Amino acid sequence: MPRPSVQSARLNEIVEAAAKCVAQYGLEGVTLDRIAEETGLKRPLIRHHAGNREEIINAVVTHVLSGFGELTTMFANALPAKRGSYAAVDHLFDDHGHSDPAEMMVFQSIVAAADRFPAEAEALLKWVGDFTAVVVEAIKRDFPEVESEAAETVAHGIVALYFNVDSLAPLKPPHAWRRYAKNAALLLLRSLEDNAGTQRAP
């Protein structure tokens, strides 16, 4: 049996190579041959360290979602108690707010193959829900008077705008598109200000 440190290093190497395959070819394009070509390892050694193709795909998804989860926790912890919803918009739509293109390709590949990889799709959907919940809670802190439905609606709109502009990042769209998306997100938040003002009015 290899030492745990060697096993872990090999597994990480294989998972990262498989992630590159997903980014290039989609989930269906992950094969032991392509991973072997990427890593320089023999197929039996790949199976020994990482299992079969399905287990490797699951490991890639787990790896990517783990990274997304860590970023979500950092995102939540960075939001101030006051005006956290506006801070969230600033963070999501600033010039450095987009995801790693390779990870975004993995994300899109899971979405595209959801019917064939239901467990992986369910895990991704849970993360999207957790991520959206961070924005919802920030909005509820900033706008305690508004109804939960309004907070959820605005949060989902902001997250949808973020995912839309983020998914286009590999195409290198005009910088103005990110600014327009941020402006749209701010308009959604300001609609809550109007809503809260109306509820406070006699």
Is the pLDDT at 178 greater than 70, yes or no? Answer: yes
Residues in the chain: 202
Is the pLDDT at 199 greater than 60, yes or no? Answer: no
CA distance linking residue 93 with residue 14, whole number of Å: 33
The pLDDT tens digits for 53-68 are 989 998 998 888 898 9
Closest to 121 in 3D by CA, of 113, 131, 130 = 113
Is the pLDDT at 144 greater than 90, yes or no? Answer: yes
- Contact predicate 156/106, CB 8 Å: no
Predicted confidence at residue 81, as pLDDT, reads 95
Tokens standing for residue 62: 């787990």
Mean pLDDT of the chain: 89
- Contact predicate 192/151, CB 8 Å: yes
- Contact predicate 164/99, CB 8 Å: no
CA distance linking residue 121 with residue 118, whole number of Å: 5
Predicted confidence at residue 202, as pLDDT, reads 45
Is the pLDDT at 198 greater than 90, yes or no? Answer: no
Predicted confidence at residue 197, as pLDDT, reads 52
Predicted confidence at residue 1, as pLDDT, reads 45
CA distance linking residue 178 with residue 143, whole number of Å: 25
Please state, for a pLDDT cut of 90, what percent of the chain lies above it. Answer: 59
